[in-house]
Amino acid sequence: MKLSSWIFFTCISFSALAQQTPNAIQRAQQRTFTVATIPQPGEVLTLQQAIAQSIEKNYQIQINRSQEDIARNNFTKGNAGYLPVLTFNGNSNGGIQNFRQTFIDNIRPPQEAHGIFNRTSNLGVNLNYTVFNGYARSTLYNQLDQLVKIGTVNTRANVEATVASIATSYYDVVRQLQRLIAFSQALDISRERLELARANYEVGTRSKVDFLSAQVDYNTDSAALISQEQALRNAKTLLNSQLIRDPQAEFAVRDTIIVRPTLQLESLQQSLSTNNPLLAAAVLNRTIADLNVRLANAAQLPLVSATTGYNYQFQDNQGGFGVATGRTGALTYNITATIPIFNGYNLKRQIQNARVNTIIAQNQESNQRLQLQLALVQTYQAYQTSIRLLNLEVQNNLLANQNVDIAYDRYRIGNSTFVEFRDVQRNAINAQTRLIEAEFNAKAAEIELLRLSSTITQELGQ
């Protein structure tokens, strides 16, 4: 009777368990959050908000903008030497004297005075102007203009690099959050398996080894989830530091990683050649090197300068001899021409060095162009590879999830061991994480392509 009762209750328990467990995987998947539903502390931070904050607060961008302001302030005709220099000069000297004088001829009586005040003052206005300096000032003015342009492209280069860095870090947060969701789903499946193993062990249909193995796997998945939580915190801390705010500031993300598979290499190459700020800076540096040759050649030509001024002098002499008071006004001018003849071959050396610098600048421009094109082609190849891998991993993930459903049903009814089920579950986790990594890698390659082609601010900064 006892044996019959035990068999009866065992059958009832197993039957009830069978009715509860067929959809265990579905229940675990239903309990799992998505990026849009997972609870996150803090306000939602969008990618556009993150980019706007970083551009506004980034220290390097602020430095570049200040340097650009300095270059723009220097770009004046006066700094290039087009305008004259007007100066005012004034001085006054004097003294209080005591004297006693006797004369050799003894005709004049001795003279003696105390507290005699003498003063001489000069006031003048002078105008200096360079009439001709071998066209150096027009070259210098052009050079100042190029420096303003270099400051502008340097600022733009840092803005684009910052946007790319922020976008990559932002999507890294999304990636870590997706991995957290995947590990959470894996833990839910392990929890369902643990509950099934415990129930089967209690009713005696499974061994204790099966139950203990389920407990170990559950603890392993719990540890993986805890590690992933730390990885998510690290990604958020990095993004906070790039936004120049409290590294521990809480925020939520709701975006998903969506990759555009339509980028074309030809259009990217054309945009790089015409818009990339690093290449533009190399071209401007070559232009400045050419201008330096013109400046060196200008030193071979005559230098003509003119100076004019008006000086006013007045004297006040209380000594009783010589001029008592005097007032003098004079208009002066001076024209000077300087022709270089020989200076120890230093001028020739300076011209040669300036020409060598133009060759260096040309090589630097060519090398910059080559390196950028190489980086673009390599990144585009990585982008295409990531797209193909992404499509493959999408299929793998669907198949792996179906395989988990089948494996769980087989494990539930005793047609497979816990080792087989764990292998299937591990394959599913790996397939899901590979899918997440493929999405992120494709998006990172896309962001780098946009940066190299200098279209990132238009595409992501809107």
pLDDT at 257 over 50: yes
Query: Between 6 and 187, where is the model more confident?
Result: 187
pLDDT-derived band at 324, boundaries 50, 70, 90: low
Cα 57 to the center of its chain, rounded Å? 11
Q: How far apart are CA 437 and CA 386, in angstroms?
A: 9
Q: Above 50 in pLDDT, residue 18? A: no
Contact 189, 217 (CB under 8 A): no
Q: Are 214 and 197 in contact, with CB atoms under 8 Å apart? A: yes
Q: In terms of pLDDT, which residue wins out, 462 or 419?
A: 419
Amino acid at 100: R
Radius of gyration of the chain (CA): 43
Helix axes 136-203, 2-20, angle to 10 degrees: 160
- Give me 144's structure tokens: 């100042």
- Tally of CB atoms within 10 A around 186: 25
Helix (H/G/I), strand (E/B), else coil: 39: coil
Cα–Cα distances in Å, from 423 out to 26, 275, 358, 404, 409? Answer: 19, 51, 65, 10, 14
Three-class DSSP category at 351: helix
315: part of which helix (H) or strand (E)? strand 303-317
For residues 94-117, average pLDDT: 75
List the beta strands (DSSP E) in 33-110.
43-44, 85-101
Taking the C-alpha atoms of residue 217 and residue 280, their distance in angstroms, rounded to an integer, is 57
**Higher model confidence: residue 268 or residue 317?**
268
Tell me what pLDDT residue 3 has: 32
CA 406 to chain centre: 49
CA distance 314 to 316: 7
Say whether pLDDT at 267 is over 90. Answer: yes
Stretch (H or E) spanning 251: strand 251-252
Of residues 4 and 441, the one with the higher pLDDT is 441
Entry pTM: 0.83
C-alpha span between 312 and 323 (Å, rounded): 17
CB 265 within 8 A of CB 380: yes
Tokens representing 399? 């198949």
Q: Where are the domains of the chain?
A: 24-87+136-309+343-460
pLDDT tens for 234-246 read 999 999 999 999 9
Cα 79 to chain centroid, rounded: 32
Tell the CATH topology of 24-87+136-309+343-460. Outer membrane efflux proteins (OEP) (1.20.1600)
145 vs 399, more confident: 145
- pLDDT at residue 118, rounded to an integer: 77
